[in-house]
């Protein structure tokens, strides 16, 4: 009996020891699995943080430069604020520059050539002379630099030209506004930036305005062919004085470049022709306030340059990041876009809905100052 009891105790002890061993092994395996899972999760988190950091660094490395026609006027100051805001909100580098001499074709080409040589990621250009830009645009494409234009519909050498609105239709609408002040009969002169094919958008505004006059107001006639004012207020003023002296029958002046409206209005005011010669065209309140107040300028219209500066930089940034656009898409600061293929060549014109209009009664904000 003692022997049997001893054997039984040995068997029980063996079972207990075996159970303890299994338990220890199970615990060790679980601990190892948990440790491995924690390590893997840490690696995944670290990888995600590294990817996010790399993406953020890549954003900060993106550089986009907006090359305009000129510097040093309130319009450009306002547009620059939009460019800088886009840079801040998108986490990229963006700036605005232009030829030191207003409307200098050769210098503008050189500015873009230097940017291409430097290897920036994207360029926006408002061309003085569209044809002169084509060779440097081709160089940019070869280097993988994204380039778009504005105020230059159907621009060769780029895939997109982005406009605040349809330029021809805008010109038609502007003629309707001028008629509200001048009446449906009269004799007008038109100021553009550069004669065609220069400054395409500005010439399209005049084309639209004259087409509208021909269709709806056949008693409105041009006293002379359109004149180039090169976005120069003083030049516009001097040309307007000549017009007033040469054409006593003059009743209206239609202006395009932002400096044209204040230049022409100054001449009308100095010649004592307020209420006899009506000036209207594209500019902004901060450049025209005193002439809107005096009545020498009947109205000005345009878009908010800050909005366009922002949207052009954002558009290029999206293209750099491989994004695409669709007809009817709503783009911040530009509105719902309409996309149309170039009338000649390969490319797409993009039109926004950013049109605005101001008179003596509407150009001020709540603080009594010009809106911008």
In CATH, what number is assigned to the domain containing residue 95?
A: 3.40.50.2300
**What pLDDT was estimated at residue 206?**
98
Q: For 199-232, how does the pLDDT look when each residue is reduced to its tens digit (9 = 90+)?
A: 999 999 999 999 999 999 999 999 999 999 999 9
What tens digit of pLDDT does each residue of 123-136 get?
Answer: 999 999 999 999 99
> Which pLDDT band, with edges at 50, 70 and 90, does 306 fall under?
very high
The confidence score (pLDDT) of residue 370 equals 97
pLDDT (mean) for 317-328: 97
The answer on 204 and 328 residing in a single domain is no
Q: Is the same domain home to 247 and 314?
A: no
Phi and psi (nearest 5°) for 124?
A: -110, 135
Do 149 and 242 belong to one domain?
no
Question: For the chain, what percent of residues have pLDDT higher than 70?
Answer: 84
pLDDT score of 2: 37
Q: What is the dihedral of CA 241, 246, 247, 250, to 10 degrees?
A: 0
- Are 190 and 140 part of one and the same domain? no
Residue 10 forms part of a structural domain: no
User: For residue range 27-84, what is the model confidence (pLDDT) as tens digits?
Assistant: 455 455 545 555 554 555 544 454 444 445 455 699 999 999 999 999 999 999 999 9
Q: Could you give the CA distance from residue 354 to residue 365 in angstroms, rounded to a whole number?
A: 18
Answer whether 147's CB lies under 8 Å from 181's CB. Answer: no
How far is it, in rounded angstroms, from Cα 73 to Cα 65? Answer: 19
Q: How confident is the model at residue 314 (pLDDT cuts 50, 70, 90)?
A: very high
- Report yes or no on 55 lying in a domain: no
In a domain, 236, yes or no: yes
Contacts of residue 30, defined as CB under 8 A and 6 or more positions apart, other chains included, come to none
Q: Are residues 159 and 240 in the same domain?
A: no
Please indicate, yes or no, whether residues 228 and 335 belong to a single structural domain of this protein: no
| Domain shared by 296 and 317, yes or no | no
pLDDT digits (tens, 9 = 90+) for 234-251: 999 999 999 999 999 999
CA distance 49 to 45: 6
Residue 14 lies in a domain: no
Structure tokens at 239: 């040309």
Number of domains forming the structure of the chain: 2
Q: Which of 259, 279, 302 is where one domain is finished?
A: 302
The residues, ordered by sequence, that sit 6+ positions from 63 with a Cβ below 8 Å of its Cβ are 92, 93, 94, 120, 121, 122
User: Is the domain of 248 the same as that of 349?
Assistant: no
The reply to whether 68 falls in a domain is: yes
Give the HSE-up count for residue 177: Cα atoms under 13 Å, Cβ half-sphere.
24
Binned at pLDDT 50, 70 and 90, residue 155 comes out as very high
β-strand pairing of 330-331 with 299-302:
unpaired
Which pLDDT does position 38 carry in this prediction?
Answer: 54
Q: Is the pLDDT of residue 313 over 70?
A: yes
CA atoms 330, 334, 335, 337: torsion sign? negative
Tell me whether strands 63-67 and 93-97 are parallel, antiparallel or unpaired: parallel
Asked if residue 54 belongs to a domain, the reply is no
Q: Are residues 218 and 148 in the same domain?
A: no
Q: Are residues 320 and 290 in the same domain?
A: no
Distance from chain centroid for Cα 102? 20
Q: Is residue 32 part of a domain?
A: no
Please report the sign of the dihedral spanned by the C-alpha atoms of residue 338, residue 226, residue 282, residue 84: positive
pLDDT of the residue at 58: 53
What was the pLDDT predicted at 228?
97
The whole-number pLDDT of residue 132 equals 97
pLDDT tens digits along 97-113: 999 998 999 999 999 99
Reading the block at residue 108, the tokens are: 């503008």
Cα separation, 266 vs 48, in Å, equals: 62
Tell me what the mean pLDDT of segment 155-176 comes to.
Answer: 98
3-state secondary structure of 176: helix
268 falls within a domain: yes
Last residue of a domain, one of 283, 302, 321: 302
Which residue range(s) make up the domain with 250?
A: 167-302
- pLDDT at residue 49, as a whole number: 53
Pairing mode of beta strands 146-149, 122-125: parallel
High-pLDDT (> 90) share of the chain, %: 84
> 127 vs 33, 84, 134, 264, CA distance in Å?
65, 21, 10, 24
Predicted confidence band of residue 4 (pLDDT cuts 50, 70, 90): very low
Kindly state whether residues 144 and 255 are assigned to the same domain. no
Residues 207 and 294 in one domain: yes
Task: Judge contact between 315 and 162, C-beta under 8 A.
Answer: yes
Structure tokens at 14: 């063996």
CB 255 within 8 A of CB 284: no
State the pLDDT at residue 56: 52
Task: Identify which of 9, 107, 121, 7 has the alpha carbon closest to the alpha carbon of residue 66.
Answer: 121
| pLDDT higher than threshold 90 for residue 319 | yes
């Amino acid at each position: 009996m003692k022997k049997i009891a001893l054997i039984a105790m040995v068997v029980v002890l063996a079972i207990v020891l075996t159970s303890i061993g299994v338990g220890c092994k199970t615990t060790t395996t679980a601990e190892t699995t948990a440790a491995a899972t924690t390590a893997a999760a840490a690696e995944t988190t670290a990888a995600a943080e590294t990817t996010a950091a790399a993406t953020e660094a890549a954003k900060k490395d993106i550089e986009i430069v907006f090359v305009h026609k000129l510097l040093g006027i309130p319009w450009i100051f306002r547009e620059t604020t939009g460019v800088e805001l886009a840079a801040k909100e998108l986490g990229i580098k963006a700036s605005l520059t232009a030829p030191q001499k207003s409307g200098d074709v050769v210098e503008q080409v050189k500015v873009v050539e230097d940017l291409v040589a430097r290897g920036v990621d994207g360029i926006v250009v408002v061309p003085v002379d569209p044809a002169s830009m084509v060779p440097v645009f081709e160089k940019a494409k070869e280097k993988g630099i994204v380039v778009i234009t504005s105020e230059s519909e159907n621009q060769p050498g780029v895939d997109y030209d982005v406009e605040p609105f349809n330029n021809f239709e805008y010109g038609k609408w502007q003629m309707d506004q001028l008629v509200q002040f001048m009446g449906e009969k009269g004799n007008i002169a038109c100021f553009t930036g550069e004669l065609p094919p220069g400054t395409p958008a500005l010439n399209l505004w005049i084309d639209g305005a004259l087409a509208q006059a021909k269709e709806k107001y056949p008693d409105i006639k041009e006293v002379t062919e359109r004149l180039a004012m090169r976005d120069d207020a003083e030049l516009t003023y001097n040309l307007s004085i000549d017009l007033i002296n040469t054409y006593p029958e003059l009743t209206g002046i239609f202006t395009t470049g932002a400096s044209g409206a204040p230049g022409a209005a100054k001449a009308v005011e100095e010649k004592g022709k307020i209420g006899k010669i009506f000036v209207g065209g594209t500019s902004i309140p901060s450049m025209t306030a005193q002439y809107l107040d005096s009545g020498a300028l009947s109205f000005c219209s345009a878009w908010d340059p800050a909005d366009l500066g922002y949207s052009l930089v954002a558009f290029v940034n999206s293209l750099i990041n491989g994004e695409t656009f669709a007809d009817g898409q709503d783009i911040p600061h530009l509105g719902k876009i309409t996309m149309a293929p170039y009338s000649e060549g390969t490319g797409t014109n993009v039109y926004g809905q950013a049109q605005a209009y101001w008179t003596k009664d509407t150009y001020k904000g709540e603080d009594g100052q010009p809106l911008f």
